Amino acid sequence: DAGITQSPRHKVTETGTPVTLRCHQTENHRYMYWYRQDPGHGLRLIHYSYGVKDTDKGEVSDGYSVSRSKTEDFLLTLESATSSQTSVYFCAIRRDTSNYGYTFGSGTRLTVV
């Protein structure tokens, strides 16, 4: 839907290991976002990108890094996964329309054991 693909869809990993989640878009949008969703918190912004190699921190960026070497791919890396990073991760794009048309990927469910 809307050309956004998140991979993997599900992942279980061990504490202390690095993990990379991928967001791929096919529509060449400039702005891309990573959110995490936890019960009782809604969605919270981790990092966002406004172009190739241009990224910035969001509300809950500690323990996460991102990279955007191509317009179509936005990678989220958990440098050393902790149990507190167990969450559902959503990628989103912003369209160049009057309402910006924020559209979300299907999400990645990450469990850190």
Partner 1 sequence: AQKITQTQPGMFVQEKEAVTLDCTYDTSDQSYGLFWYKQPSSGEMIFLIYQGSYDEQNATEGRYSLNFQKARKSANLVISASQLGDSAMYFCAMYSGGGADGLTFGKGTHLIIQP
Give me the residues that bind partner 1 (CB under 8 A), please: 1, 31, 33, 35, 40-45, 48, 50, 56, 58, 88, 90, 92, 94, 98-104, 106-107
Cα 51 to Cα 31, 77, 85, 86, 101: the distances in Å are 6, 18, 26, 28, 17
Query: Which of residues 38 and 72 has its CB atom nearest to partner 1 in the complex?
Result: 38
Rounded least distance, CB 36 to partner 1, Å? 11
Rounded least distance, CB 85 to partner 1, Å? 18
Rounded least distance, CB 89 to partner 1, Å? 11
Rounded least distance, CB 96 to partner 1, Å? 11
Q: Which residue do the tokens 């991979």 mark?
A: 7
Rounded CA-CA distance 77/20 in Å is 4
Count of CB atoms situated within 10 Å of the CB of 82: 12
Query: Which of residues 33 and 64 has its CB atom nearest to partner 1 in the complex?
Result: 33
The amino acid at residue 30 is R
